[in-house]
Structure 1
C-alpha cells in the first residue's frame, strides 16, 4: 500500500475550484474520466464535518458498469481543505476497508489554484490507472472552469 499524491494547477481562483468539488451540479458536470459520467440525480454533497458526498460514475458505453462513491467528510475548511473517508471494503483486491482522500486548495500567482490531492492507503498496482483517471477528469474540470 502506498500514498497517491497528485498536484495540479488550475487556471481559476481557489473558491471556484473548491466549488467544483462541493456543488452537486458542477461535480456532475466534470467528475469521472473521459468515457464516464456522473448522472446529476446520483449526486448528494453536504460539505461539512460528518456530511456526505455520494454519487455514481457510470460508463457511457456500458451503463451497467457503475462505480458508486459514498464518502463522509472528516475535515472541511471552506475554499482550503476537504478530507473524506470512503468505505472501500466492497472493492475486491483493494486491501483496505477505508480510503482517505485529502484535497488541499492553495493560491497560485495570477489568480490560479494549486490542488494537492492525496489518497491513502492506496494499492500500488492501482496507482497508474488512478493517476490516468484523475488526469482525464481534471481535463474535463479545466473546461468547466474556463
Structure 2
C-alpha cells in the first residue's frame, strides 16, 4: 500500500497530507462527499462515524456534521463545519470545528488531481486555535494517517 506523506508546520499551525490512490478521481470525491461512503471509512483506528450522524449540505455556505465514536468506550467526538468552496471533483474547502478534547477551528483545503485513473489527494489543514498544539498535533498526525489508510483500503475494495 502506498505510504501517506504527512508534513506539519508548527509556526503555520498546519498539517499537510498527500496520498496517491489507485482509484479514479470521481470515486475519491464521492468517498468524501457521499455520506454513505464517508461512513464506510471515516474515523481513525478504533473509531467509526455512524451514517445516522452524518449530515452534508454540499454547497458553499452549506453545513456538515458528524460524530466519531470510540468503538470500545462509546465516547463521542462531534465535528462540524461549513463548506467554503465545492468544485466537483477537484476541490473542497471548509472551516472545520472539532470539540474534543478542546474546541479547535481550522480551514481545510482538499484537492484531487487526476493522474490517468489514479488520484492524488492533497489535504492541508491550517489554523488550530487550541494551546497544546504539539501534543494535539502528534495525535492529529497519527489519527489522520490512520484515517487515510482506511480510505485507501475502502477505495481498493471499490475498484
The TM-score normalised by the length of structure 2 is 0.82
CA RMSD of aligned residues (A): 1.7
- What whole-Å deviation, never above 9, does each CA across 1:103-130 have from its counterpart, x for those lacking one? 011112x411111111111334322211
1:102 aligns with: 109
| Separation in 2, partners of 1:44, 1:103 | 18
1:134 and 2:140 are equivalent in the alignment: no
1:22 aligns with: 33
How far has the Cα of 1:93 moved from its partner? 5.3
2:90 aligns with: 80
| Separation in 2, partners of 1:93, 1:70 | 14
Unaligned regions of 5+ residues in structure 1, if any? none
The TM-score normalised by the length of structure 1 is 0.88
Given candidates 37, 44, 62, the residue that maps to 2:73 is: 62
CA pair 92-31 structure 1, distance change in 2 beyond 3 A = closer
The total of aligned residue pairs comes to 141
2:7 aligns with: none
| Separation in 1, partners of 2:63, 2:23 | 26
| Separation in 1, partners of 2:24, 2:47 | 26
- What whole-Å deviation, never above 9, does each CA across 1:80-115 have from its counterpart, x for those lacking one? 100111235x55556x5x31111011112x411111
Unaligned regions of 5+ residues in structure 2, if any? 1-9
2:123 aligns with: 117
| Separation in 2, partners of 1:92, 1:142 | 27
Q: Which has the higher contact order (CA 8 A, sep 6+)?
A: 1
Point out the more displaced range, 123-132 or 24-33: 123-132
